[in-house]
Each structure stands twice: as structure tokens, then as C-alpha cells.
Amino acid sequence: MDEIKLSGFCDPRFSKIKDLLEESLVSGFDTGASVAIEHEGKMVVNLSGGYKDLDKNEPWAEDTILNVFSTTKAVTAICIAKLIDQGKLDISKNVSEYWPEYACNGKENTKVSDFMCHRAGMFGFQEGIPDLKFADWDSWVSVLEKQKPFREPGTSQGYHALTYGWLVGEILRRVDGRSVGQFFKEEIAIPLSIDFKIGLNQEDIQRCGNILVDDRSESLILKLIPYIPDFLLPEQLKIIKEVLKGGDYQVAFETFDPDQDYVHSDDWRMAEIPSANGHGTAESLAKLFGILSTGCEREGITIMSEETLNTCLQPLSKGPDTVIFGAEINFGTGFDLGLGLTTINQPSHPKTLFGHCGVGGCVGFGDIENKIGYGFLCNRMHQPQDLYRTSNSLTSALYEIISQRT
């Protein structure tokens, strides 16, 4: 057992949250982590502890930031929602209305909404991951612009793990002229003092925690599933078998060179990848989603109208997802509604949640009905079955606590 001292504060009513975070760190399940919760417009939990690095030489500080991977998608979705609120973007229109060059090779009728809810059929690269610098935005966009979709746009849902960022980000750039990172910084982060960035500078990099990856070698069952007769498989494994045979999962999650520690490189951290490389604190996520969940305004600064947010939280697609093993993931305008990605084959969260999770285990969400903003960061990337174990336990405890209010 490690000796762990948490820093920050916790309202006594939410002490179970503190106990669970401490347990995850003391047991060694998590190496470094932080959780922050806003309830009814007030920050009631803001705790952190553990270490930024594998050797446990660098304590996790209150201002430590972390790559939240796909939680970035929700931040990008907030930027898109603001454009909608400003009357500059209509997601029911074809992409070609804003990005004429995209209309080729079977993509002519793709709608902006298809990008937002993972129905564009562009969940990977036809020729494999390009050998490009991450900062070379125009080249990444050009590759996607010219290629054929893997599936007919609008006909099926397939999670766009990486490509979402360049596709949605280019729409924002065509409409507004700024990158997603610059737009978020100028329109939201600076005015509201939110410590979250898409694209870091050298000073930011000094605050970063490292991503510590557990052994993620493919399990024996996944290797064997394609060869097992259907009559021997339960229904869920039949779906997984079809996904593995179809290849959508491998295409969407095709990795970069495993010998390169790219997530710790300046190239990755300083680039803007609006699907996968946002960096921030748990407090920043809790505050951002807390504002959205309590009227979308704070101290005279409005992110968007409540009407626009409610529109963006209407379901656009709910699976089955051809990439995520046929799961019924419910997507609004860029938001994972109910955070279904964190609870596949597990008890579900309340349907009132909206936000996104990241492949490293980080989670950010809001809940208008219960006036909650939530952020959780951890730097230990666990095996898939344990990826959201800590966050899910914290979330369950949170809703148990607020349900007992007298």
C-alpha cells in the first residue's frame, strides 16, 4: 500500500468521493488522479493526489494537466454549439455548403450532423495512418477530404475516434476562420478562467502528467472469437465477431508507431487534434460542464443559450455502432448522451448525463436536471474492462449522495 495524501477540498457531504479516490490511489490501482465536482453552481469537490510519473518522483500537483483524449470531443462539441447559437452554422446542411472540396468520392451528400454523431463513414484512413507531423493540419485535412468513405454517409454509426477532430475542426475553421483551440481559448477558456487547452505551449508542457499504459495485448478470447461457430456464442459475442470480421474497429483505432512515445512528444502536445489531445485539469471540466448545467452563464458571460444546448442534447444517432462492437451509444451534437461509452456491458448511468470519456480513463460530463459538472482525470491507462472503474464508482457514489438530500 502506498502512502497517499490528497490535496484540495471536499464538502463533508461528499466525503465518500474522497474515500473512493484515496482508495484507488492507496491500493495502487491508480497512480495519479484528480476529481472535481460542481453541484448547483458551487464547487463541492476538488481533490488530487498520487504521482505524475511511473517512478513516483513527481507528485500530482493541483495545477497538473493531463491529456484527456476523447473527452476533448465534448469540448469541441461545445465550440460547435456556440457557432450554432451565433447563427453561423446549420448542422442539417451538407458539409459542402461550408467545405466545398469535401464533396467528392461518395461524400457529396454528407451532412454536418453526420460528422457530429459519427455517421459520416469516415472513421479511419483508407491508406492507413499518414506519416505526417501532428501540427500539419492542412495535410491531415487534405487526406480526409480526398478519400472515399468506408461506409455510405448517414447510413450507419461508426465511432470516429481520431478523424472526428479534423473533420469537425475543419468545419469550425471554414465557418469562423479560427482553429478549435484558438476559438475555445478566446471565446470560452480565457473569459471564464477555464484551465483547458487544445494545443499546448512549452510552459503548459511542464505541468503535464505522463500517460502510463498497462499491458494492452489482445486477449485470447478476442483472438478466438472469429473462429468460433455462431451457435456457440451468446448474442453479444456474435455482434463482436461481426465487428472483428468487418474490420471497422481496427480501422478506427489503428495506432501510430508503437515504438514512438508520441503522446508525450511536443509534436503531439503542441498540435491541435480536437478529437484526442485536449489537456486540462479536473476542475476545468467540472467548471465548464457545471456552467452548462446551470443556465450556460456565469458572471455575465454566456457560453450559449439554454435553448441551443437543449437542441444539441437531442439524440441524432444511437447505434448500433459498427466500431464499438455494435454498442447502442447515444450521440447528440458531439456529446455522448448518458455516457454509454463508459458503461458498455455494465449498469448504465442516468440518462441525464452529457459529455464524453477518453481512452485513458478520463471523463467529463454535465447534468442539467441535477445541476452537476464533473471532471475526472487519471494517468493510468488500464485494460479496457477496468478503464472507467474509478470514474464509474465515483459517479455512482455522487448520484447516491445527491439522491439522499433532504
CATH number, domain with residue 352:
3.40.710.10
Contact in structure between 19 and 255 (CB atoms under 8 Å): no
346 confidence band (pLDDT: 50, 70, 90): confident
Average pLDDT over residues 300-312: 98
The helix (H) or strand (E) run that includes residue 198 is strand 196-198
CA distance 71 to 68: 6
Contact in structure between 212 and 381 (CB atoms under 8 Å): yes
Contact in structure between 390 and 361 (CB atoms under 8 Å): yes
> In Å, how far are 1, 37, 293, 319 from 42, measured between CA atoms?
34, 8, 12, 35
Average pLDDT over residues 5-12: 95
> In Å, how far are 7, 25, 49, 51, 69 from 59, measured between CA atoms?
11, 12, 7, 4, 22
CA distance 348 to 361: 17
In a domain, residue 168? The reply is yes
Least confident range of 17-26, 57-66, 128-137, 252-261: 252-261
Mean pLDDT of the chain: 91
Average pLDDT over residues 115-135: 95
What residue numbers bound the domain in which 324 lies?
A: 7-214+251-403
In a domain, residue 242? The reply is no
pLDDT in tens, 207-254: 999 999 876 555 544 555 454 555 555 555 555 556 565 678 778 877
So what's the pLDDT on residue 345? 72
So what's the pLDDT on residue 326? 84
CA distance 277 to 69: 5
159 confidence band (pLDDT: 50, 70, 90): very high
* Residue 83 confidence (pLDDT) above 60: yes
In a domain, residue 34? The reply is yes
Average pLDDT over residues 9-19: 97
One-letter identity of residue 197: K
The total domain count for the chain is 1
- Burial of 326 per CB tally in 10 Å (0-12, 13-18, 19+): buried
CA distance 162 to 251: 10
Calculate what percentage of the chain has a pLDDT beyond 70: 90
pLDDT in tens, 312-345: 999 999 989 999 888 899 999 999 999 999 987 7
Average pLDDT over residues 81-105: 98
In a domain, residue 44? The reply is yes
pTM higher than the cut 0.85: yes
Residue 6 or residue 236, greater confidence: 6
In a domain, residue 246? The reply is no
So what's the pLDDT on residue 378? 97
* Residue 356 confidence (pLDDT) above 90: yes
Residue 356 or residue 323, greater confidence: 356
* Residue 124 confidence (pLDDT) above 90: yes
So what's the pLDDT on residue 244? 60
CB atoms within 10 A of CB 250: 13
In a domain, residue 239? The reply is no
pLDDT in tens, 166-210: 999 999 999 999 999 999 999 999 999 999 999 999 999 999 999
CB atoms within 10 A of CB 55: 8
In a domain, residue 173? The reply is yes
So what's the pLDDT on residue 220? 47
In a domain, residue 271? The reply is yes
Contact in structure between 129 and 111 (CB atoms under 8 Å): no
Written as one string, the DSSP assignment of 281-328 is -HHHHHHHHHHHTTTSEETTEESS-HHHHHHHTS-SB---BTTTTT--
406 confidence band (pLDDT: 50, 70, 90): very low
So what's the pLDDT on residue 247? 72
Calculate what percentage of the chain has a pLDDT beyond 90: 79
261 confidence band (pLDDT: 50, 70, 90): confident
The helix (H) or strand (E) run that includes residue 374 is strand 372-378
So what's the pLDDT on residue 73? 98
One-letter identity of residue 132: L
